[in-house]
Amino acid sequence: MLVLIGIVPAAYALNMNSTTADLTATVAAARKLEAELSDPELAGMMTALKDQHLAESRVERLSRSETVSAAEVIESTLVDDVLDPYPANDVVLATLDPLPLVKGVLTSLEGRQSFDELQADERWQLRTNLVELGASVRTLLRQFGDRLAEDRRKVLKGLAGQLAKPVEYVPEWVVMGVALCLGIGTMFGWERIVKTVGEKIGKTHLTYAQGGAAELVAATTIGLADSLGMPVSTTHVLSSGVAGTMWANNSGIQPETVREIALAWILTLPVAMALAGGLYWTATLFTG
């Protein structure tokens, strides 16, 4: 979905299959959220977070100033305060100043019956506002949830969920395509997977009882993680389950295979982050 949104944002930035009723519900949620955020208590909380972020940003600018004097950095900060106290390019700051985002959503959807009536740049701006609004509510609940009444927390969480529906979606053909690709990949690479899981994790071959136990644990763990919204890897869960059955059966575990699997787990996140960051940095050289 991220690839599709990046390549053709006009088509996939918003759920174009949303009905008029969906748009009406989104507008209603935005109006309710606007009323909530206009409350002096919540407005004061967000203002405090905004001021804290601005102060931390200035400290960071001072700490990074290796080629200019501190006096010059302070002077430039004072100029920023006068000319642009709330920089528009600060994404974090936008989430700490949510009222303009709500107003932007309401303005974009005013009198609209369908997302098709929006221009391409309007769709992208609406998506940005909705995503940042969700981040704003999550920040508010994370920082001050213990100071809010339970009913109010539920209301804010529900409004954020409603506003996320136009942007957090997956077309049916994408689901089917991913399932098909996984199936084709397994069809050609099944032998290596079966040998690794069934023969190389333990020192003995996997029995039917061990396989059933590992699959049951994997299904239960993945189901719980899905209900709680926790990201897990099915391969990691199943491999760990197989290793657990080998240990419980005193079958022994092959340390070389387990070490390779564990090393892959550890390296996946930083390597993926480095590759994604490098690709983004390279793209900015050409696109600005």
Which DSSP state fits 206? Answer: P
Average pLDDT over residues 175-197: 84
pLDDT band at 254 (very low <50, low <70, confident <90, very high): confident
In 3D, which of 228, 6, 220, 29 has the Cα closest to residue 124? Answer: 6
Q: Where are the domains of the chain?
A: 2-164, 172-287
CA pair distance 121, 84, nearest whole angstrom: 24
Rg of the chain over all Cα atoms, to the nearest angstrom = 25
pLDDT value for 63? 65
Is it the case that residue 2 has pLDDT exceeding 80? no
Compute φ and ψ for 247, nearest 5 degrees.
Answer: -65, -45
Residue 148 main-chain phi, psi, to 5 deg: -105, 150
Average pLDDT over residues 230-236: 83
**CA distance from start to end of the chain:** 23
Point out which residues pair with 202 in neighbouring strands.
253
Q: Is 163 exposed, middle or buried (0-12, 13-18, 19+ CB in 10 A)?
A: buried
